[in-house]
Amino acid sequence: MKKYRKPRVLILDEWLLYPLKETEAKDLLEIIELRTQTASTLFCSQIDIPGRHEYLYDPTLADAICDRIKHNSYVITLKGEHMRKLTATVD
């Protein structure tokens, strides 16, 4: 866990692409705890904020994780077509 504390910015791309297992959710909570008020963590996800609880194993654990993420955070919601579709070339 110490290695996740050190980076100034930690990017979790495709966050919650799949539901987390209990140990994964607990590890995530610990990582967030370690980084709170000391470093930046970026969560990139296709899951809307209200729908995240169902991916975080247990409602109580989900509340703890989401509470720590949402306080002192910024939410940026992108809309429109994704870049892969816009820039794809047909051969």
Q: Which domains does the chain have, with CATH numbers?
A: 2-87 (3.40.50.300)
State both tokens at 64.
Answer: 């703890």
Give the residue, 19 or 46, on which the prediction is more confident. 19
20's CB contacts (< 8 A; 6+ apart) are: 28, 55, 56, 57
Q: Which residues pair with 10 in a beta bridge?
A: 41
Confidence of residue 91 (pLDDT cuts 50, 70, 90): low
- Per-residue model confidence as pLDDT tens digits over 32-66: 998 888 899 998 888 776 667 788 888 888 888 88
- Per-residue model confidence as pLDDT tens digits over 71-83: 878 888 878 777 6
